[in-house]
Structure 1
Amino acid sequence: MLKRLFFLSIVAFCFACKSVNQINKYNNSITIDKHSVSDLKKDVDFTYTLLKDGHPGLYWYISKQKLDYKFDSLKKSIVEPLTSVEFYKKLTPVVAAIKCGHTSVKFPSIEYKADELKDLKKKTFPIHQFSYTISDDKLFVLESKSENKLVKPGTEIVAIDGIKTQSILNDFNQLISSDGYNTTHNSKTVERNFAQYFKIYYQTKDSVNFKFRTEKDSIGETYVTTLKKKQADTSKNPIKIKQTKNPKYVGQFKDGKAQMDFRFLDEKRDFAYLKIQSFSIIGADYGQFYKQLFDSIAKVGTKNLVIDLRGNGGGSLEHSRNLFSYLTDKDFVYLQKSLTNGQYDYRKYGNKWQKFMYFINGHNDRDYVREDKNGNRYSFMKGINALPPNPKNFKGKVFVLIDGYTFSAASLLSANLKGIDRATFIGEETGGGFNQCVAGHLPVVKLNNSKLAIRFGLYKMSPNAKSDVVGRGIFPDVEITSSLTDKITGCDREIDWILNNGNG
Structure 2
Amino acid sequence: MNYKIVLVLFITCFLASCKSIEKHNLQVTKLHSVEDLREDVDKVYTQLKRHHPHLYQFTPKETLDFKFDSLKQAINKPMDSRTFYKQLAAVTKYVGQGHMSISPPSLRYSKKERKALNKTKFDISNLDFEYLDDTLFIVNARKDDSILINAEVLKIENEKPQDLIKKYEKIIASDGFNTTFHQRVAGNRFLRYYANDKGRFDSISFTLRNSDSTFVKHYKRTLKKDTTSLKKDSILPDSLLNKVKKIKLTKAEKKAKKIERKAKRKHNAKYGYIASRDEYTRNLNFVGKDSTVALLKIRGFSNNKYKDFYDETFKTLDSLKSEALIIDLRNNFGGRLSEISYLYSYLTNENFVMINPSEVNTRTPILKSLMANTTPNSLKVLGGLLSPVLVTIDLFKTKKKDGKLYYNFKPSKEQEAKSLNYKGKVYVLINGNSFSASSVLSTKLRGAKRATFVGEETGGAYNGTVAGIYKIYEAPNTKVRARIGLAHIDAPSKVTPDGYGIIPDVEIIPTYLDRLNNVDPELEWVLKDLEAKH
Q: Same fold (TM over 0.5)?
A: yes
Cα gap change, 1:38 to 1:127, in 2 (>3 Å): farther
DSSP-derived class of the 2:164 partner: helix
Listed one character per residue, the Cα deviations across residues 145-182 of structure 1 (whole Å, up to 9, x for unaligned) are 69799x93333333323233232112211221111111
DSSP-derived class of the 2:23 partner: helix
* 2:18 pairs with 1:23: no
DSSP-derived class of the 2:187 partner: helix
Q: Distance in 1 between matches of 2:14 and 2:277?
A: 30
Q: Does the 8 Å CA contact 1:142/1:153 hold for their aligned counterparts?
A: yes
Give 5+ residue unaligned stretches, structure 2: 1-11, 227-263
Q: Distance in 2 between matches of 1:18 and 1:311?
A: 44
Q: Which range is displaced more, 15-24 or 119-128?
A: 15-24
Cα gap change, 1:49 to 1:349, in 2 (>3 Å): farther
Letter in 2 for 1:24: E
Among 139, 143, 150, the alignment partner of 1:142 is: 139
Q: Does the 8 Å CA contact 2:329/2:428 hold for their aligned counterparts?
A: yes
Q: Distance in 2 between matches of 1:42 and 1:72?
A: 11
Q: Distance in 1 between matches of 2:401 and 2:140?
A: 56
Listed one character per residue, the Cα deviations across residues 208-233 of structure 1 (whole Å, up to 9, x for unaligned) are 3434457559x7656444455559xx
Q: Distance in 2 between matches of 1:491 and 1:119?
A: 43
Q: Distance in 2 between matches of 1:313 and 1:51?
A: 23
Cα gap change, 1:359 to 1:245, in 2 (>3 Å): closer
The residue correspondences of 1:7-406 to structure 2 (distance < 5 A) are 19-30=17-28, 32-125=29-122, 128=125, 130-144=127-141, 152-212=148-208, 215=211, 223-230=218-225, 246-253=267-274, 254-266=276-288, 268-281=290-303, 284-342=304-362, 345=368, 349-350=372-373, 351=375, 352-353=377-378, 355-363=380-388, 367=395, 370-406=398-434
Q: Does the 8 Å CA contact 1:398/1:423 hold for their aligned counterparts?
A: yes
Q: Distance in 2 between matches of 1:100 and 1:225?
A: 36
Residue 240 of structure 1 is matched in structure 2 by: none
Deviation at 1:472, TM superposition (A): 0.5
Deviation at 1:139, TM superposition (A): 2.0
Q: Distance in 2 between matches of 1:246 and 1:496?
A: 30
DSSP-derived class of the 1:383 partner: helix
Q: Distance in 2 between matches of 1:434 and 1:222?
A: 41
Deviation at 1:486, TM superposition (A): 2.6
DSSP-derived class of the 1:418 partner: helix
Q: Which range is displaced more, 53-62 or 346-355?
A: 346-355
Listed one character per residue, the Cα deviations across residues 192-213 of structure 1 (whole Å, up to 9, x for unaligned) are 2211221222233344343445
Give 5+ residue unaligned stretches, structure 1: 1-13, 232-242
Residue 239 of structure 1 is matched in structure 2 by: none
Deviation at 1:308, TM superposition (A): 1.1
Cα gap change, 1:488 to 1:356, in 2 (>3 Å): farther
Q: Distance in 2 between matches of 1:360 and 1:62?
A: 40
Cα gap change, 1:229 to 1:414, in 2 (>3 Å): farther
Deviation at 1:331, TM superposition (A): 1.5
Q: Distance in 2 between matches of 1:341 and 1:320?
A: 25
Cα gap change, 1:67 to 1:354, in 2 (>3 Å): farther
Question: Of Structure 1 and Structure 2, which has the larger fraction of its residues in helix?
Answer: 2
Cα gap change, 1:266 to 1:229, in 2 (>3 Å): farther
Cα gap change, 1:86 to 1:425, in 2 (>3 Å): same
Q: Distance in 2 between matches of 1:436 and 1:121?
A: 40
Letter in 2 for 1:498: V
Cα gap change, 1:287 to 1:106, in 2 (>3 Å): same
Listed one character per residue, the Cα deviations across residues 313-346 of structure 1 (whole Å, up to 9, x for unaligned) are 1111111111111111011122122111227646
The residue correspondences of 1:430-469 to structure 2 (distance < 5 A) are 430-469=458-497
Cα gap change, 1:135 to 1:195, in 2 (>3 Å): same
Cα gap change, 1:18 to 1:471, in 2 (>3 Å): farther
Q: Does the 8 Å CA contact 2:369/2:470 hold for their aligned counterparts?
A: no
Residue 238 of structure 1 is matched in structure 2 by: none
Q: Does the 8 Å CA contact 1:131/1:141 hold for their aligned counterparts?
A: yes
Cα gap change, 1:353 to 1:428, in 2 (>3 Å): farther
Listed one character per residue, the Cα deviations across residues 14-57 of structure 1 (whole Å, up to 9, x for unaligned) are 99997334323323322x22222222222111111110111111
Q: Distance in 2 between matches of 1:40 and 1:280?
A: 36
Q: Distance in 1 between matches of 2:427 and 2:527?
A: 11
Deviation at 1:134, TM superposition (A): 1.0
Letter in 1 for 2:129: Y
Residue 497 of structure 1 is matched in structure 2 by: 525
Deviation at 1:489, TM superposition (A): 4.8
Cα gap change, 1:303 to 1:16, in 2 (>3 Å): farther
Cα gap change, 1:494 to 1:348, in 2 (>3 Å): closer
Cα gap change, 1:145 to 1:249, in 2 (>3 Å): closer
DSSP-derived class of the 1:456 partner: strand
Deviation at 1:392, TM superposition (A): 1.4
Deviation at 1:144, TM superposition (A): 4.3
Q: Distance in 2 between matches of 1:117 and 1:347?
A: 26
Listed one character per residue, the Cα deviations across residues 382-418 of structure 1 (whole Å, up to 9, x for unaligned) are 2334322112111111111111111111111100100
TM-score scaled by length of structure 2: 0.81
Residue 474 of structure 1 is matched in structure 2 by: 502
CA RMSD of aligned residues (A): 3.0
